[in-house]
Chains A and B, each alone.
Chain A
Amino acid sequence: MSAIERPVVKPRPVYLNLVRIRLPLPGIVSILHRISGAVLFLFAIPVLLAGVGMSLASAESFAALKSLVAHPLAKLLLLGFAWAYLHHFCAGIRYLLLDLHRGIELAPARQSSVVVLVVSLALTLIVGVRLW
């Protein structure tokens, strides 16, 4: 088919201005999966290792860690990590199901992305209630 015969469907290239782009819900879950993963790698792993180290070193350092975690800013940081972990966890289960060809149609895929967002936020809320 020559270029002239081809029907003009959409203007190309596709509009990819990051500020103005409107991601569909599965797209939002996807980019949050990536961002939460990066946050966990960059910040949560070293904090986790340092925390576990402190908690196991002695009864005194265990108590010191407990009082450190009682600080509001520390709680806020932990809440952020909790959301990152829970979102990554829930979105990851969704991807595993998609890999198994479960819910790959448009409508269920959109529904499951809402479920991931809501469930991970609800679980984060529970963690928040436990923290405060």
Chain B
Amino acid sequence: MVTRRQAVGAHYGLKDWLLQRVTAVLMALYTLLLLAVALWNGGFDYGLWQALFAHAAFKLATFLFMVSLLYHAWIGVRDIFMDYVKPVGVRLTLQVAAAAVLVAYLGWTIQLLWGIKA
């Protein structure tokens, strides 16, 4: 019988638990930043929107938001699959599909932020 489990090495999901929270805080900060910019300028017209996304710092902040969003979503979706989808084959398929979609979204994000204009 295991009397004392050492939370070392196998991690027991601590890393994901923590990263889900760290990414949540980062996304909340970005949301408030964008809201503040919108309120300050009374909404966005095309000129302001374009100028905002032309800033290297805003691009990086947006990229950080999207990476946080996609990793946060991965942990959440994985938890949903682990809770409700019992057959291992089906669960693995769903998890691979979700991960593939999320990585594709990351590629889409990079293309939007730094994409070469045709």
Interface set of A (CB-CB < 8 Å, partner B): 34, 37-38, 40-41, 45-46, 49, 52-53, 55-56, 59, 62-63, 89, 92-93, 96, 99
User: Is A37 a contact partner of B49 (Cβ separation < 8 A)?
Assistant: no
User: Is B49 a contact partner of A92 (Cβ separation < 8 A)?
Assistant: no
Closest A residue to B84 by CB, please name it: A34
* Interface size grouping (class) on chain B: 20 to 34
User: Is B50 a contact partner of A40 (Cβ separation < 8 A)?
Assistant: no
Q: How far in angstroms is the closest Cβ of chain A from B58? A: 12
Give the 5 A-B residue pairs with the shortest CB-CB distance, closest first: A62-B46, A41-B73, A37-B76, A59-B46, A49-B108
Interface of A is mostly: helix
Closest B residue to A85 by CB, please name it: B31
User: Is B53 a contact partner of A56 (Cβ separation < 8 A)?
Assistant: yes
User: Is A49 a contact partner of B112 (Cβ separation < 8 A)?
Assistant: yes
Name, among B28, B31, B49, B112, the residue most crowded by chain A CB atoms within 10 Å (CB to CB).
B112
Residues of A within 8 A of B80 (CB): 34, 37-38
User: Is A96 a contact partner of B24 (Cβ separation < 8 A)?
Assistant: yes
Is B77 in contact with chain A by the CB < 8 A criterion?
A: yes
User: Is B46 a contact partner of A89 (Cβ separation < 8 A)?
Assistant: no
User: Is B46 a contact partner of A96 (Cβ separation < 8 A)?
Assistant: no
Residues of A within 8 A of B112 (CB): 49, 52-53, 56
